[in-house]
């Protein structure tokens, strides 16, 4: 048994029940189950199905043309874990105390042990083990084991699906809104199974949830020995009638074990010299993978399937923070994530038109079904960079997998349509090809001209389209590319204006960034962070203050400026960054590792890797910070491990932190499985599976066999 792949309550600082529900939640890309107390009802308990949302009209005080019309809110479905237990006098065991909780990442098993009391204060012990099938993602196994403590007589166990999802309304934009338009219908095919159908009135979706027992959903037993009660939970596909499958808890557990075994074989990360860190990074990779839709129709909600925060929406988080991990370890998942974007391409073309951009496609900033769900366009739709982020992820996937067929068939069209968007959206002036009134990744600066990150990414996007046109001329023709368009696209890519301050000798976040005063950090009490909860946006916008990495993210991705400039830039932007977004620290860490700022790299990493395990942002109860889970891998592999692809060659630069004895990672590269071991004195690469490969290792070319 590998203890670095086990999380227990003792590893955590907080015992808040809704926080623990998130931490010990499990998911399989299709649905997630929060680790709620099965006896005490909790508002935040529930089952979350990837992509199952209800719509409601966005009510604007003042509305303007083209504003997002509808909210899409992921539905918190009934808690599948809940159970009722009665004593021989029909009194309910209604009070419970959580004694221990464990998540085993070797097997996917989440175990919680409770002391449960009847009104006479007599206790029994209830152990709930929950595990999800990973191959057929509709299946959940629940095993309830009950032992006498000081109550030893008969008990009655009743298992039903109860509808109890009353959450409070909130002003916190990171939380989910309350839904009143989901209807439920129950049917019992027989005594062993109960099916609950949830139907949304506005989005017109339906989903079946079922619970099945071997004999009956109710049973009365003597408690003179340990009693076990297995339930199979089933969650159907959206708008599809559920097929009740017959399986057992042990079969589900075996399936889960073999999935995670294979997963770790391909994706292992091992830090020698720090067990706590190993545990944290394993947790992050486990939960990131659990959160990820793998069917080409769904994606990765910002909070995964561990909570309803951010309403279950998919953001740029996927492409820039999460899909790098999949591209390098489980490329078939990275492929499905791109296919999801492909599935919403035509919706995105319509959106470009709505914004008055004649050509191309604009992906929604936040969405489930492809249409824009961001009511606050200044930090939503205006983040046009999402188009280029998606193209960047396609390029990464292509480089890592060399999957030419896929790129030709799907990737190319996305890259072309997004490049067309930039081409049509931008305009020339004396500075070059410019993009006006955009918001970059930093949400504390909005609607500016020539955001450096956006412009740099748009340049990349158009250049990539030009490369693909060269590579697939027939396909380009089919997609309507003309010679004139090709020439014009290449010229625009070439002429994209990138703001640079001669005075500071660094890239400037946007045209007016350095003209603004710096935020009064000294006068800002700690309790006023995150700023977004304490200051009007306009107050924040008129200062130099960053929520998250912006220009530095471009530096990280392109590595196209001198080390000296990079150091100056890092130093400048670090001073004005609050890291109020959990997407920030991983980039600061990875970049610091690249520059050789070892202490900083390590410090930021320590925060990112444990963001949820220490509840750093104080809102893990609403769900995991999934971008950051991916970000911590990015920091290790691309920061400390120095992995990149340069001139089509895999490149490794060892920047092992002084605090570690060694680091070992596994990645896939063009059909091979590689194991890379970093020591302070050397870097050793092994090909575990596949053909020999030339790699640039710490500056020199090596043939690895």
Q: How many residues bind ligand BGC (CB under 6 A)?
A: 12
CA distance 671 to 624: 31
Which residue number, 193 or 531, has a Cβ lying nearer to ligand BGC? 531
Helix 585-595 and helix 563-575, axial crossing angle in degrees, nearest 10: 150
Min separation Cβ 160 and ligand BGC, Å? 35
Spatial strand order of the sheet with 662-669 comes to 269-272, 662-669, 672-678, 683-689
Helices (H) and strands (E) in the chain, counts: 19, 28
Min separation Cβ 580 and ligand BGC, Å? 7
Min separation Cβ 213 and ligand BGC, Å? 39
Min separation Cβ 316 and ligand BGC, Å? 6
Q: Does the annotation mark 508 as catalytic?
A: no
Q: Does 630 sit near ligand BGC (CB under 6 A)?
A: no
Which residue number, 236 or 630, has a Cβ lying nearer to ligand BGC? 630
Torsion angle of C-alpha atoms 639, 641, 645, 646, degrees rounded to 10: 80
Min separation Cβ 318 and ligand BGC, Å? 9
CA distance 397 to 327: 5
Q: Does 548 sit near ligand BGC (CB under 6 A)?
A: yes
CA distance 426 to 436: 7
Give the three-state DSSP class for 99.
strand
Which residue number, 623 or 641, has a Cβ lying nearer to ligand BGC? 623
Which residue number, 303 or 594, has a Cβ lying nearer to ligand BGC? 303
Binding mask 518-547 for ligand BGC (x = CB under 6 A): -----------------------------x
Contact positions with ligand BGC (CB under 6 A) in 254-313: 302, 310
Min separation Cβ 644 and ligand BGC, Å? 23
Min separation Cβ 578 and ligand BGC, Å? 11
Q: Which helix (H) or strand (E) element contains residue 473?
A: helix 473-478
Contact positions with ligand BGC (CB under 6 A) in 413-472: 441, 443
Which residue number, 17 or 530, has a Cβ lying nearer to ligand BGC? 530
Q: Which long-range contacts (CB under 8 A, 24 or more apart) does 288-291 make?
A: 288/322, 288/325, 288/626, 288/629, 288/630, 288/633, 289/29, 289/263, 289/330, 289/333, 290/26, 290/27, 290/28, 290/29, 290/32, 290/132, 291/27, 291/29, 291/32, 291/624, 291/626, 291/629
Min separation Cβ 143 and ligand BGC, Å? 34
Which residue number, 144 or 365, has a Cβ lying nearer to ligand BGC? 365
DSSP string, 335-391: HHHHHHHHHTHHHHHHHHHHTT--SS----SSBSSSS---S-GGGTTT-THHHHHHH
Min separation Cβ 530 and ligand BGC, Å? 8
HSE (side-chain half, CA atoms, 13 Å) at 653: 15
Q: Write down the catalytic residue from 54, 372, 413, 443.
A: 443
Which residue number, 137 or 383, has a Cβ lying nearer to ligand BGC? 383
Alpha-helix runs per DSSP H in 31-126: none
Q: Does 627 sit near ligand BGC (CB under 6 A)?
A: yes
Which residue number, 87 or 317, has a Cβ lying nearer to ligand BGC? 317
Q: Does 581 sit near ligand BGC (CB under 6 A)?
A: yes
Min separation Cβ 217 and ligand BGC, Å? 39
Q: Does 570 sit near ligand BGC (CB under 6 A)?
A: no
Q: Does 316 sit near ligand BGC (CB under 6 A)?
A: yes
Spatial strand order of the sheet with 644-646 comes to 644-646, 649-652, 693-697, 700-704
| Window of 280-288, 314-322, 631-639, 683-691 that interacts with ligand BGC by CB under 6 A | 314-322
Q: Does 317 sit near ligand BGC (CB under 6 A)?
A: yes
Among 249, 314, 315, 412, binds ligand BGC (CB under 6 A): 315
CA distance 52 to 430: 48
Which residue number, 253 or 627, has a Cβ lying nearer to ligand BGC? 627
Q: Does 71 sit near ligand BGC (CB under 6 A)?
A: no
Which residue number, 302 or 595, has a Cβ lying nearer to ligand BGC? 302
Q: Does 134 sit near ligand BGC (CB under 6 A)?
A: no
Determine the length of the chain. Answer: 705
Q: Is residue 374 a contact partner of residue 58, using CB atoms and an 8 Å limit?
A: no
Q: Which helix (H) or strand (E) element contains residue 183?
A: strand 182-190
Give the three-state DSSP class for 128.
strand
**What letters, b where the CB count within 10 A reaches 16 and e where it falls short, cover 247-284?**
eebeebbebbbebbeebbebbebbbeebeebbbbbbbb
DSSP string, 507-560: E-SSTTGGGSPBP-GGGS-GGG-SGGGTS-HHHHHTSB-BSS-SHHHHHHHH--
Interface ranges with ligand BGC (CB under 6 A): 302, 310, 315-317, 441, 443, 547-548, 581, 583, 627
Catalytic residue numbers, as ranges: 443
């Amino acid at each position: 048994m590998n203890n670095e792949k086990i999380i227990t309550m003792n590893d955590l600082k907080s015992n808040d029940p809704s926080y623990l529900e998130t931490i010990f939640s499990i998911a399989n890309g299709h649905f997630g189950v929060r680790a709620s107390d099965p006896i005490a009802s909790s508002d935040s308990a529930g089952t979350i199905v990837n992509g199952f949302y209800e719509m409601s009209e966005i009510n604007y005080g003042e509305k303007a043309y083209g504003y997002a019309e509808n909210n899409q809110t992921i539905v918190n479905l009934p808690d599948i874990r809940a159970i009722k237990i009665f004593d021989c006098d029909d009194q309910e065991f209604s009070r419970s105390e959580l004694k221990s909780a464990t998540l085993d990442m070797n097997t996917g098993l989440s175990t919680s042990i409770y002391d449960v009391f009847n009104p006479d204060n007599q206790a029994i012990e209830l152990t709930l083990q929950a595990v999800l099938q990973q191959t057929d993602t509709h299946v959940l196994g629940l095993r309830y084991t009950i032992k006498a403590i000081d109550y030893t007589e008969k008990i009655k166990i009743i298992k039903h699906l109860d509808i109890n999802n009353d959450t409070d309304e909130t002003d916190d934009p990171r939380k989910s809104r309350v839904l009143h338009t989901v209807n439920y219908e129950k049917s019992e095919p027989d005594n062993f199974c109960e099916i609950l159908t949830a139907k949304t009135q506005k989005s017109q979706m339906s989903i079946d949830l079922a619970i099945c027992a071997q004999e009956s959903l109710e049973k009365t037993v003597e408690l003179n020995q340990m009693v076990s009660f297995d339930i199979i939970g089933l969650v159907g596909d959206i708008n599809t009638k559920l097929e009740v499958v017959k399986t057992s808890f042990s079969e589900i557990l075996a399936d889960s074990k073999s999935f995670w075994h294979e997963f770790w074989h391909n994706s292992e990360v091992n830090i020698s010299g720090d067990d706590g860190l190993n545990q944290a990074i394993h947790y992050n990779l486990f939960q990131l993978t659990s959160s990820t839709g793998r069917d080409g129709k769904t994606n990765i909600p910002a909070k995964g399937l561990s909570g309803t925060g951010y309403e279950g929406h998919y953001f740029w988080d996927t492409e820039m923070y999460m899909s790098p991990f999949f591209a390098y370890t489980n490329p078939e998942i990275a492929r499905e994530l791109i296919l999801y974007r492909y599935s919403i391409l035509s919706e995105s073309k319509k959106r470009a038109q709505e914004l008055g951009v004649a050509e191309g496609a604009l992906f929604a900033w936040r969405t489930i079904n492809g249409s824009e769900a961001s009511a606050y366009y200044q930090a939503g739709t205006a983040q046009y960079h999402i188009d280029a982020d998606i193209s960047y992820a396609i390029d990464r996937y292509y480089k890592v997998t060399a999957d030419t067929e896929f790129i030709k068939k799907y990737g190319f069209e996305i890259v072309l349509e997004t490049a067309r968007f930039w081409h049509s959206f931008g305009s020339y002036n004396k500075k070059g090809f410019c993009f006006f009134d955009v918001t970059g990744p930093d949400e504390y600066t909005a609607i500016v001209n020539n955001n450096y990150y956006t412009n740099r990414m748009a340049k990349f996007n158009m250049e990539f389209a030009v490369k693909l046109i060269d590579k697939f001329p027939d396909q380009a023709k089919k997609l309507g590319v003309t010679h004139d368009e090709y020439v014009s696209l290449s010229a625009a890519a070439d002429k994209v204006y990138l703001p640079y301050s001669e005075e500071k000798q660094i890239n400037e976040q946007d045209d007016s960034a350095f003209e603004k005063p710096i935020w009064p950090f000294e006068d800002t009490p700690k309790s006023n962070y995150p700023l977004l909860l304490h200051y009007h946006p306009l107050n924040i916008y008129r200062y130099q203050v960053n929520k998250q990495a912006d220009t530095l993210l471009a530096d990280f991705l392109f590595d196209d400026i001198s080390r000296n400039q990079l150091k100056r830039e890092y130093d400048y932007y670090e001073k004005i960054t609050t890291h109020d977004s959990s997407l920030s620290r991983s980039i600061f860490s990875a970049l610091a590792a690249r520059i050789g700022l070892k202490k900083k790299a390590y410090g930021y990493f320590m925060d990112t890797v444990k963001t949820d395990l220490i509840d750093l942002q104080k809102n893990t109860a609403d769900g995991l910070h999934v971008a950051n889970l991916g970000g911590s891998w990015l920091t290790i592999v691309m920061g400390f491990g120095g992995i990149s692809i340069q001139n089509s060659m895999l490149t490794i630069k060892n920047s092992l932190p002084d605090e570690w004895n060694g680091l070992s990672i596994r990645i896939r590269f063009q059909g091979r499985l590689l194991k890379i071991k970093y020591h302070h004195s050397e870097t050793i690469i092994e090909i575990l599976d596949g053909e020999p490969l030339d790699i640039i290792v710490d500056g020199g070319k090596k043939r690895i066999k």
